[in-house]
Amino acid sequence: MTNFLSLADVTDIDALIQSGLTSKANPFADQHLGKNKTIGLIFFNSSLRTRLSTQKAAQNLGMNVMTMNVGQDSWGLEMEEGVLMNADKAEHVREAAAVMGRYCDIIGIRAFAELTDRDKDYREQVMHQFAKYAKVPIVNLESATRHPLQSLADCITIEEAKTVVKPKVVLTWLPHFKPLPQAVANSFCEWMNARVQSGNVEFVVTHPEGYELAPEFVGNTPVIYNQDEAFEGADFIYGKNWSSYTHYGQVLTQDPSWAVTMNDLRLTNNGKFMHCLPVRRNLKVADEVLDSSHSLVIEQAANREWSAQAVLKEILRNLI
């Protein structure tokens, strides 16, 4: 592995899951891999889990870590080529990425979708510009269209918590008043589809009309517009809000009946509730679910450390 931008950079998901679990059992076994290596973590947006878990994983591997919030700690960065830079952006990604590439052996980047221009977001300009000009491996810390470190942690969590050989996993849309990116849902579909292919899970998606995700992510996954029907016999309920892809970036409904309650979980096979966090209590999911033994959200967030460590190990092995 050189870059970790999407599932396409992974050759063996099972091996990566196992590698995460190996680090979880023995976090400091590979300290030699990162000795005298530096990772730069660059944030265009807020983060709790990604920032801390990736830093922790890098430190477990003996790496030095530098973190920067773009626009607050550093100059605003221009991403477009050939423009007259007479507006608010003081520095071009050509120089910024090239310079950071001289200080860092690996760069992790978080840059959310702006949710105004779909083509621009889905072109993944920030990731590609950094990969082009930094000339060091790039790790996706949530880009416009994907959040693969989250999806890997989700796969690890499902492997650990499953009680049947081939669990039924349901991705459900949850209500929210703010337009959120599709990245977490897209990535989860991408990774679950691969797990369906390898016979590890059954997977369905449920959401209100108008919230269809991009076809390249949904693939052949059954989409069920009735949440109760989708929840029947589910082993894992994965909740997430996203804004519309077809009416790009819009909030089409805030229907509270889509929030997950204990009553909804009664339809499942003693189903576990998953969410990437942060989550707004009682807007998207009831307290009674989050505070019950059905909730996996804390374990899922804890597994972000091991997902990051699995990815960094692969990249570091390739560097040496």
Write out the residues near ligand AN0 by the rule CB under 6 A.
Answer: 142, 180-181, 183-184, 276, 278
From 69-77, 118-126, 261-269, 271-279, span contacting ligand CP (CB under 6 A): 271-279
Residue 240 as a binder of ligand CP (CB under 6 A): the answer is no
Considering the complex, what minimum distance in angstroms separates the CB of residue 255 from ligand CP? 24
From 8-16, 42-50, 67-75, 212-220, span contacting ligand CP (CB under 6 A): 42-50
Q: For residues 126-145, which are near ligand CP according to CB under 6 A?
A: 142
Considering the complex, what minimum distance in angstroms separates the CB of residue 123 from ligand CP? 22
Q: How far apart are CA 161 and CA 235, in angstroms?
A: 10
Residue 47 as a binder of ligand CP (CB under 6 A): the answer is yes
Considering the complex, what minimum distance in angstroms separates the CB of residue 184 from ligand AN0? 5
Considering the complex, what minimum distance in angstroms separates the CB of residue 232 from ligand AN0? 27
Considering the complex, what minimum distance in angstroms separates the CB of residue 84 from ligand AN0? 32
Considering the complex, what minimum distance in angstroms separates the CB of residue 6 from ligand AN0? 15
Q: Which does 181 bind (CB under 5 to 8 A by kind): ligand CP, ligand AN0, none?
A: ligand AN0
Q: How far apart are CA 53 and CA 223, in angstroms?
A: 33
Instruction: For ligand CP, give the closer residue by CB, 47 or 168.
Output: 47
Q: Which does 180 bind (CB under 5 to 8 A by kind): ligand AN0, ligand CP, none?
A: ligand AN0
Its sign, for the CA torsion 149, 151, 152, 154, is positive
**Secondary structure of the chain as H, E, C letters:** CCCECCHHHCCCHHHHHHHHHHHHHCCCCCHHHHCCCEEEEEECCCCCHHHHHHHHHHHHCCCEEEEEECCCCCCCEECCCCCCCCCCCCEEHHHHHHHHHHHCCEEEEECCCCCCCHHHHHCCHHHHHHHHHHCCCEEECCCCCCCHHHHHHHHHHHHHHCCCCCCEEEEEECCCCCCCCCHHHHHHHHHHHHHHHCCCCEEEEECCCCCCCCHHHHCCCCEECCHHHHHCCCCEEEEECCCCCCCCCCCCCCCHHHCECHHHHCCCCCCEEECCCCCCECCCECHHHHCCCCECHHHHHHHHHHHHHHHHHHHHHHHC
Residue 267 as a binder of ligand CP (CB under 6 A): the answer is no
From 23-31, 188-196, 231-239, 272-280, span contacting ligand CP (CB under 6 A): 272-280
Instruction: For ligand CP, give the closer residue by CB, 51 or 89.
Output: 51
Residue nearest ligand AN0, CB atom distance:
180
Instruction: For ligand AN0, give the closer residue by CB, 148 or 181.
Output: 181
Residues that bind ligand CP (CB under 6 A): 47-50, 142, 150, 276-278
